Chain A
Amino acid sequence: MSGAPTDLELRLRYAHGAGALQPYFDALVDGRALASRCPNCGRVWFPPHLHCPDDGGACGWVELEGQGQVVSATETHGRLPLADAVAEHVFVLVAMQGADNAAFGRLKPGPGGQDPVGRRVHLIGISEPPPHPAQAALFELLEED
């Protein structure tokens, strides 16, 4: 048995910290790709891990050139977390040059119509401070492609 629902709006305000990943996020907003390298296995992670998820090695910071290749893409629409506007988005996984993994991010809106998979991109950062710095994972197709 169900009655009329009560309309509740829960507002939560977090003083949310990035912890040891703060340097990565600071660089990301600037359009720089700060990765980490495991001293044991040599794997380079972007986004970084402070400790290698495969062997637990204490990783050190390493800066990449900021370019990579799109390995997967999906077109969708919706609202980014904490954002006001609904928009079209192309979410991508990018294998950054010099990294052994792939990074989740968005493709800067462009003319569209062409499959970005396999194309080269670069990290461009973001001018307006985003609600969360992870949203600065914004890539742009390189013009020579």
Chain B
Amino acid sequence: MSAAPTNAPVVLGGGVHPFGRHVGGQWRDWVRHAGAAALADAGLAPADIDAVVVASETDFLSLQVNPGPVALAELGMAGKPVVRVEGGGASGGLALREALAQIMSGLYRRVLVIGFDAASGHLTAEDVQLVYGLSFDAETDGMAGATAVALYALSISEYMARHGATAEQLAHVSVKNHANAIGNPWAHKPMSITVGDVLASPMIATPYRKFDCSMASDGAAAIVLAAPAHAPAADRMRSRITGSGAGSDHPRLGDRPDRHAFRAKTRAARAAYAMAGIDDAASAFDAAEVYDAFTGAELQSLEALGLVAEGTAGPAMADGRFDAGGPLPVNLSGGLIGQGGVPGATGIAQAVIMDRLLGGRGHGDNAGRDVRRGVIDVHGGVCTNAVVHVMERVEP
């Protein structure tokens, strides 16, 4: 029996506008599509929603300052309370946490959480890289030339030197996540590749090659949460969010005592697990959606989440422990590497994916998979801020 809070919010429904490169597209359309899909999945009308939380990473991407009210207008919800949440790559997860707080505090009964970003087809890749370079300490590091891939590379280099992880082990993450994305109708880059393909792909920033890197994507995701007392009856399995935790670390990678590890995530996970009443994370979950901005980041995240002992994620990955058919499948969606990376939407899409898995409604071969409890995880910067949620199945 779960030790989670009795007022843990129930997921009523979710929807995603496919992640991809939508040149000529508009974020408002994606928000309208994802929001409508979430409401339809929940069996609700806009009038049933008390408040909305909107997540997007930066207005440099969308060219829309204060997007919350604009999103409401697109959704037929003008006039409702709305708050915008931003925390880099953690934006969607932090928006989920904001909605959780709104519901558990009793402020609102039913909240729509919606996230988006135009990270692929709007600006050039070089300009997106420049904007993302300001995600760290912009003054001392970003303006000095730090990019996301450079800082992640510096972190994983220390991890590999310390733990003996290999490029082949990192490549397994890419192979797994691209393959998991096959059959996911929302995925940006489903494909079947080999470890050799990853190791032969162009070098971006040593040790990271092209196929070690996730993509910046366009898209949107939405989810409807409700207080248990205000969740309409359902004849299908649902899920609820039983744990939520957040943490942070020094924004300058060089200021951290442990540059090889994601300590912000460990802090967030511990808080989420305590709330959910979980003592042993390594045996607690049937599935995980983990923030794989780069292949090595998935290894670092798995360890920070306590899903595998520190320093052992590489061999465990290569042994298939986290494969779709393994004891703990990780990133069945494809993760950022296979499904794509939409900073404002990723954390919300993870919750939608996990809700579908918990409800027996996973995509493709995942339909009917017996998932009773899962963990989802996103972070901003090089895990400068992290947010972790635990989700559990609710029987009808």
The chain A residues found within 8 Å of chain B, CB to CB, are 1-5, 8, 10, 18, 21, 45, 47, 53, 71-76, 78-82, 89, 91-93, 101-106, 117, 132, 134-135, 137
Contacts and interface: CB of A to CB of B under 8 A. Distances in A.
B158 A75 contact: no
A109 to B, nearest CB: 13
Contact of B141 (A76, A89, A104): A104
A132 B205 CA distance: 23
B140 A74 contact: no
Interface in B1-52: 22-26, 29
A18 B207 CA distance: 33
23 contacts: A2-B23, A3-B24, A4-B24, A10-B63, A47-B140, A72-B154, A74-B150, A74-B206, A76-B150, A80-B144, A80-B145, A81-B142, A81-B143, A81-B145, A91-B154, A101-B252, A102-B259, A104-B151, A104-B154, A117-B157, A132-B143, A135-B143, A137-B144
Kindly list the 6 A-B residue pairs having the minimum CB-CB distance in the complex, ordered from nearest.
A102-B254, A2-B24, A76-B205, A74-B153, A132-B143, A134-B144
Interface residues of B, number: 42
A104 B255 CA distance: 10
Contacts of B279: none
Interface of B: 22-26, 29, 63, 121, 126, 129-130, 133, 139-147, 149-151, 153-155, 157-158, 161, 203-207, 250, 252-256, 259
Contacts of B29: 1
A3 B126 CA distance: 23
B139 A104 contact: no
Contacts of B121: 5
B259 A53 contact: no
B250 A53 contact: yes
A37 to B, nearest CB: 14
A102 B252 CA distance: 9
Given A47-B252, A79-B126, A103-B254, A73 B144 contact: no
B218 to A, nearest CB: 10
Given A76-B205, A81-B133, A102-B255, 14 more contacts: A1-B29, A45-B255, A71-B158, A73-B157, A74-B154, A74-B157, A75-B205, A81-B143, A82-B143, A91-B146, A101-B252, A134-B143, A135-B144, A137-B144
Contacts of B142: 81, 134
Contacts of B139: 18, 21, 134
